[in-house]
Amino acid sequence: MSKNLPLSLGEKTGYGLGDFGIGLLFHTTSIYLLIFYTDVFGISAIAASTLFLVARLWDAINDPIVGGIVDRTRSSWGKFRPYLLFGPIPLGIAGVLCFTVPDLSDVGKLIYAYVTYITFGMIYTLVAVPYSALTSSITMDSAERGALSGLRAMFTLMAGMLVASLPLLVTAFGGEDTAGGYQKSIMLFSALMVACLFVTFYTTKERYSAPPQKQAISLAEIISILKTNRPLQIVCLAFVVSFGNMSIAGSVGTYFFTYNLGRPDLIPVFMLINVSTVFVGILICQLVQKKLEKKQIIILGTLIGMIRPLSMYFPDINIILTGSVIGGIGQGFAVAVIWAFVADTIEYGQYKTGQRNEGMTYALVGFFMKMGGALGAMIPGFVLNYTGYVPNVEQTELTLSGITMLCATIPLLLYGCFALVMSRYPLDKKTHDRIVCELEQRQATVNV
């Protein structure tokens, strides 16, 4: 089949809608679960961060396992789509349980939190890995993948806009019962997630999947996949840095507005502004992609995005607003193209080894992404604990300085590291197109 097979608007939209559903639970757990655990559920910041570290380390190990399972999947629906049919309902239930406060002792609550959050992570992986890998099966055209990446980014940002309203939903559904408000709000998000992924299942089509593997990939083979694929190495390292940064900045923003600025009422407003400006950045990026390579776009966007954490050094609403708008547009550039890099590494790996490992490639990216998330999740709790954070009271100067460091200093350093890493990415559009043509010629030779 031609790699230039056009995709219908319905299929593109259906695929992007899946990331709206997944994004609802991803953004909610990334942004609100830490403060839910400390201020509502009733466990310490250090205990919550240790939980995140353990859960995400296991989640990272779980990714290659899921990738191997996906690559061996054989069904009438394909390799990836079955997981979008059977995974969403269990994922939704697990998400609701994470935001449920049981009537247990302190030790019992901690055990409950470990069981529910780790279970949520495992099911999330079982849905997110095949969903992401589906991109490589829908089309082999690098530009089309860039458009798909931008589209799914826009949908996940729309999910972020809805997630920004969570404090308002918690109040509307729960009133004085904050715990009940959280639970009912996540029930709503979970129901929407299930509906969205069902739409993705019914509107997408697998076209370029490799035949299912007959046996599990060994650890040596997994290492070989990464060792022989330099673009994939760069992307994996970039995801460590990016999601470490996201994990830190996303979880402490609520603390910054609540305690440093004393304006918790502004959390939904600024989240909506941030998400909206990232959305604008993605739209602008669709025009920029016609003139610049993906690598140039992501580095440019990252440098502009640094303005947002820089503004956090100045506890003035107007300065932070301006920094959020400018930085958000830059972040939109990066968000729009980042997943397109992953799909392109699949053809590079196939070109080098003769093996097309879609599921394992995305699983490896997921492994490093979650390693970054694990490291990022560990840092806020330790900093808050070290600086003497106490929930729901006025904080000391030391604690406020620690929150600023988490919101500004560390993100700035990680933004710089990310730009440096991506500057080493070796594939451009011309090289990728040449690789795809070579692969098609090989396949034509085999078919003769």
391: helix, strand or coil? coil
| 210 lies in some domain | no
Both tokens of 243, joined, read: 């999601």
Residue 347 has pLDDT above 70, yes or no: yes
Q: The domain that contains 55 carries what CATH number?
A: 1.20.1250.20
| Cβ 104 vs Cβ 112: under 8 Å | yes
Question: Which one is predicted more confidently, 119 or 436?
Answer: 119
Residue 209 has pLDDT above 70, yes or no: no
Q: What is each CA distance from 310 to 257, 290, 333, 404, 423, in whole angstroms?
A: 15, 30, 18, 10, 22
Residue 188 exposed, middle or buried by CB count within 10 Å (0-12, 13-18, 19+): middle
Residue 342 has pLDDT above 80, yes or no: yes
Across 1-15, 108-122, 236-250, the highest mean pLDDT is recorded for 108-122
Both tokens of 65, joined, read: 């396992």
**Any idea which of 77-81, 198-202, 214-218, 312-316 has the lowest mean pLDDT?**
214-218
| Residue-level pLDDT at 3 | 45
Question: Which one is predicted more confidently, 382 or 188?
Answer: 188
Question: Which one is predicted more confidently, 230 or 440?
Answer: 230
| Residue-level pLDDT at 1 | 40
Both tokens of 73, joined, read: 């999947």
| Cβ 210 vs Cβ 390: under 8 Å | no
Q: Which residues have CB under 8 Å from 180's CB, separation 6+? A: 173, 174
| Residue-level pLDDT at 137 | 80
| 21 lies in some domain | yes
Q: What is each CA distance from 345 to 72, 163, 391, 426, in whole angstroms?
A: 20, 32, 45, 10
| Cβ 24 vs Cβ 189: under 8 Å | yes
Q: Which residues have CB under 8 Å from 156's CB, separation 6+? A: 19, 20, 22, 23, 26, 27
| 212 lies in some domain | no
| Residue-level pLDDT at 92 | 97
Residue 218 has pLDDT above 80, yes or no: no
| Residue-level pLDDT at 5 | 57
| 4 lies in some domain | no
Overall average pLDDT of the 156-161 stretch: 84
| Cβ 320 vs Cβ 271: under 8 Å | no
Report, in angstroms and rounded to the nearest whole number, the Rg of the chain calculated over CA atoms: 21
Task: Spell 130-167 as b/e; 16+ CB within 10 A means b.
Answer: bbbbbbbbbbbbbbbbbbbbbbbbbbbbbbbbbbbebb
| Residue-level pLDDT at 88 | 96
Q: What band does 447 get if pLDDT is binned at 50, 70 and 90? A: low
| 409 lies in some domain | yes
CB atoms within 10 A of CB 55: 23
Across 273-277, 367-371, 422-426, the highest mean pLDDT is recorded for 422-426
The domain tally of the chain equals: 1
| 211 lies in some domain | no
Both tokens of 32, joined, read: 């609100």
pLDDT digits (tens, 9 = 90+) for 28-85: 998 889 889 988 999 888 888 889 888 878 877 777 788 778 878 888 888 889 999 9
Q: What is the pTM of this model?
A: 0.70
CB atoms within 10 A of CB 354: 9
Question: Which one is predicted more confidently, 271 or 437?
Answer: 437
| 224 lies in some domain | yes
Residue-number span of the structural domain to which 429 is assigned:
11-205+218-447
Distance CA(414)–CA(419), nearest Å, equals 9
| 222 lies in some domain | yes
